[in-house]
Structure 1
């Protein structure tokens, strides 16, 4: 929290029109990491190319005034052609962000797009290291279009609201 008095030019949303929006990373950390290799050592005797499924999730919550925790979660599973799991990796990487002078109607977009975009390179490295340490080729996550996902989710919510 800040001891700075409210700016007289601030609009009702608390945004000072004379101040630039800012996004500051206050902390980032690994919250959860799990790697499973359920078929070891037999899994290494197969030369089959696995089918890899990757799921990504972003969650955000307020902590203090202008401070938010954003969690980027990845769950990936590699399966053989017969459906047997080769490996499963799940990770949650989070950050605490200070977001100031952003209009309230744009805050969710900053939290769900810009914050995970900053966390993603670290998550990518964690997943690659975990799979490499499990004696598999490193799983290099493809870049994620967080803005595209955000827009698609917003359109889906609008369509559901229109049906209700």
Structure 2
């Protein structure tokens, strides 16, 4: 084997906005109401192989903002993705790269998109907080490890 085949490779090929949706189901009437909105933010991650050594990693934010219990002010779903070339890494490192490193690189772009779409829709920006993707990854791994143990007890 040549040294080139053994050298780890990590390159960002492209960052892009994959999907964006804004809904204001109760406009314009709800825009005249006063009150502090309740904001619910949900993040999801996905990593899929695209080709040999190429992976698409996507971070999706779903932001639901409500006035009162069931009156939606707006709903934003934004999916920011990146294509990464990752080669010659041990399999045990791949999950961490795809679940921690890549999402950390994508997330600032997603934060900017969500903030921008809020202001363009006529609302104050929703500023997504920093996310500890390593803690999320470790929690997901722990939950997966506990699941077979719980199934064995049933």
Change (3 A) 1:101 1:42: same
Alpha-carbon shift at residue 43 of structure 1 (Å): 2.1
**Structure 1 counterpart of 2:90, from 103, 111, 133:** 103
Alpha-carbon shift at residue 23 of structure 1 (Å): 2.2
**Correspondence list, 1:5-20, <5 A:** 6-7=1-2, 16=6, 19=7
For 1:42 and 1:125, the matched residues in 2 are separated by: 28
1:24 is aligned to 2:11: yes
For 1:9 and 1:64, the matched residues in 2 are separated by: 19
Alpha-carbon shift at residue 44 of structure 1 (Å): 2.0
Q: Normalized against structure 2, the TM-score is what? A: 0.91
**Structure 2 counterpart of 1:93, from 67, 76, 80:** 80
Change (3 A) 1:89 1:8: closer
**Structure 1 counterpart of 2:39, from 48, 52, 58:** 52
**Structure 1 counterpart of 2:108, from 121, 132, 135:** 121
Alpha-carbon shift at residue 103 of structure 1 (Å): 1.1
Matched position secondary structure for 2:68:
coil
Q: Normalized against structure 1, the TM-score is what? A: 0.86
**Structure 2 counterpart of 1:33, from 13, 20, 35:** 20
> RMSD value over aligned CA atoms?
1.7
Alpha-carbon shift at residue 30 of structure 1 (Å): 1.1
Which position in structure 2 is the counterpart of 1:3? Answer: none
